[in-house]
Chains A and B, each alone.
Chain A
Amino acid sequence: MHRLASGHNTTGTTTGSTYRVPVGSSPALGSRRCLQFCQPELVEPTLCASVRLLDLAKPFVSLLPEVEFPYQKIGFDEKIVYTVASVAVYLLASLPLSNVSQGRLADPFTWLRTPFASQAGTALEFGLLPIVTAGFLWQILAGLKIVKVSFESRTDRELFQSWQKLTAVLIAVVYSVLLTFAGYFDPVDQFTSQESVPIWGRLTYIVQLSFMALITALLVELLDKGYGFGPGILALSTAWSATQFATSFVGITTSVTSRGWESHGALVQLIRNIRNKSFGLAIYEAFTRENLANLTQIYIALAALGVAIYFGNCRVDIPIKSAKVRSMASVYPIKLLYCGALPLVFTYAVLYNLNIIGFAVTRIFNTAPFAKYIGQWKLDEFTSSTYNLTCGFLYFISASPKNISPIHLLVRPITFSLFTVIVSVLFAKSWSNISGSSGRDLAKQFKEQDISMIGHRDTAVGKELGKIIPVAATTGALIVAGVTSVAEGFGLSNGLAVGVLIGVLSALTLLESVMTEFQQSGGMGSQFGQLFQQR
């Protein structure tokens, strides 16, 4: 019950836990019993008799590893240690897959990778994508009642969760098989392509990537279950975009390119250029280089970051008061970005999935006539480390700037923006209902915690919140998607801006849960807690 209470707190955290009355006290229980007594036909007979999709997971449940709940509440310090440890382990896993030569791999998905913490040719080839996809897929299927899940029953919730984990691993298996047979892992240069990887080598890709998906799911689960902070997906994604941004900005590591040694960080490269080349050329190159991060991307990302922080603070404060304690008034903030980064995460998850499937299908069936309508990828002639989308359906919903035809170049930003905005807004519109944070759900929470809105009756709370929340959710999604389509639409940013945008919004969500935890636990005895107190 404690765990639920901490997850459920609404505003001023302290109000949440102090007002709480033991749920299931006699009047509520009595009325429910009466209801069931009067209407025994409430339980649908068909629901119990037929085999549901949900039940098909039962044979696999015993096979899936499951992180157990903590026996006691995890302290503030331990939580930080667990979070840092699991993030560090995740980042460590970005080492090249065995039998893959990472340097000679051409990557068609560069602009999609940052939000999903994935890296080409490494064990993080899919990153968080399978888990995010499985999570969204099942939640939406259940939310739209395509799959019947009665969330009140514990067994159903467990089966639902097992399905999510199972689907994540399955997606990783399917995608790694697809990409392997599409020749994605084969080196692109002519000299080495003769020595083709034997079937055993190919099998190891699939095994490694599937196992990594399972491990990622477990790391996410570890953080989700209260050993660490926040939803695991957001924590890992935030850490990844932070490291990506730092590396792109001030990364001092170097690599060999056709122009000699180059630094990964754009700022470091600028300094290196100024020392070695003429001033004008140095600056020009620092803004325009394509193989590694350039200063244009950094500035776009910084602008996106500023906009995200600004809009992250916009909110409507709803005055609330306790129904029990007199003169305990507070405000309940409803943010403009009501769904945070999730609309963008969803949109990019859709894009990433479409691109992986599209790439694999066009490669496997490269002679079929429909292949070129799905998408055409061309090897980048300068770096030969990326494939660029040049034509086809997927080109028009991508951020790839590579095309010779001016009509294509003009149309693509528009179609990309339209796609991003429409998908994000549609998602945000239904997500507040699906995820159980619509006005009605909030009103229910208010009632449970004896909170009432000042100036409204208890029965009107749901309606009143229902006026604000959908508007906030869709407007917020519109803003976030709009920023993305401006930042990414021209194809200059190569995924860094959207990564930073999602990273910042996720970080704000994470920070909220960290501060909530800090305030609730007092944080006095903890070592890390002192960091938050020095103000």
Chain B
Amino acid sequence: MSSSAVPGGAKTLAKRKATQENKLKQQLQSQPTSTRAAGAGGSSSTMLKIYTDESQGFKIDPLVVLVLAVSFIFSVVLLHVLAKVTGKFF
């Protein structure tokens, strides 16, 4: 009674198991392997685009990035000037 109760699908239990496993395997294979495949932008065939998600870190404005970069440049220049003024390495 119980073995023939489930309608549809393969008849024997072994075949049922095989289809089940195949299905799982296929699902595992069709899992996305990149952010683009998951539909969230990112690298494509011709581009390496790696920062496309917003994670929880402290968020900064793009202008802050530019200012940070320029201030870094100035700090390196300042180090040069200091080295020249003191005539030593520090």
Contacts and interface: CB of A to CB of B under 8 A. Distances in A.
A225 B90 contact: no
12 contacts: A3-B41, A142-B34, A157-B38, A162-B57, A212-B72, A221-B65, A222-B65, A224-B49, A231-B49, A234-B48, A341-B46, A436-B35
Interface string B43-63: 111111111111111111110
Contacts of B48: 132, 135-136, 139, 231, 233-234, 342, 345
Interface of A: 3-4, 7-8, 39, 42, 61-69, 82, 85-86, 89-90, 92-93, 95-99, 123, 131-132, 134-136, 138-139, 142-143, 145, 150-152, 154, 157-162, 164-165, 197-198, 200-201, 204, 208, 211-212, 215, 217-222, 224-225, 227, 230-234, 335, 337-342, 345, 431-437, 440-441, 473, 505, 509
A441 B46 contact: no
A158 B46 CA distance: 22
Contacts of B12: none
Contact of B38 (A3, A98, A151, A198): A151
Contacts of B70: 89, 92
A200 B90 contact: yes
A89 B71 CA distance: 10
A66 B47 contact: no
A339 B44 CA distance: 8
A381 to B, nearest CB: 29
Contacts of B18: none
Contacts of B42: 435-436
A509 B46 contact: yes
B47 to A, nearest CB: 4
The B interface, classified by DSSP as helix, strand, loop or mixed, is loop
Contacts, number: 222
A224 B80 contact: no
A68 B45 contact: no
A65 B51 contact: no
Given A62-B56, A227-B62, A473-B45, A135 B33 contact: no
Given A64-B55, A86-B66, A160-B35, 5 more contacts: A4-B41, A62-B57, A164-B51, A200-B90, A218-B65
A65 B37 CA distance: 26
B3 interface: no
B17 interface: no
Nearest to B59: A68
A130 to B, nearest CB: 12
Interface of B: 23-24, 27, 30-62, 65-66, 68-70, 72-73, 76-77, 79-80, 83, 89-90
B58 A62 contact: yes
Contacts of A437: 36, 44-45
A61 B56 contact: yes
Given A93-B73, A215-B72, A339-B45, A161 B50 contact: yes
Nearest to B36: A436
B43 A435 contact: yes
Nearest to B56: A61
B43 A64 contact: no
Contacts of B60: 65-68, 218
Q: Which of A62, A99, A161 has the most CB of B within 10 A?
A: A161
B36 A123 contact: no
A141 to B, nearest CB: 10
A220 B43 CA distance: 13
Nearest to B71: A215
A436 B90 contact: no
Contacts of B77: 95
Contact of A161 (B31, B52, B69): B52
Given A98-B76, A151-B40, A224-B49, A436 B55 contact: no
Of all A-B residue pairs in the complex, the 10 with the closest CB atoms, nearest first, are A436-B37, A340-B46, A98-B79, A158-B55, A151-B38, A436-B36, A221-B51, A231-B49, A66-B57, A437-B45
A197 B55 contact: no
B56 A435 contact: no
A190 B84 CA distance: 22
A61 B55 contact: yes
Given A67-B65, A131-B50, A200 B57 contact: no
Nearest to A435: B43
A132 B40 CA distance: 20
A4 B36 CA distance: 10
A234 to B, nearest CB: 6
Nearest to B60: A65
Contacts of A145: 33
B55 A198 contact: no
Contact of A7 (B23, B32, B41, B62): B41
A61 B31 CA distance: 25
Contact of B89 (A99, A152, A215): A99
Nearest to B40: A157
B57 A204 contact: no
Contacts of B32: 151-152, 436
A436 B34 contact: yes
A64 B57 contact: yes
A86 B67 CA distance: 10
Given A62-B58, A66-B58, A434 B34 contact: yes
A82 B65 CA distance: 11
A433 B33 contact: yes
Nearest to B37: A436
Nearest to B30: A440
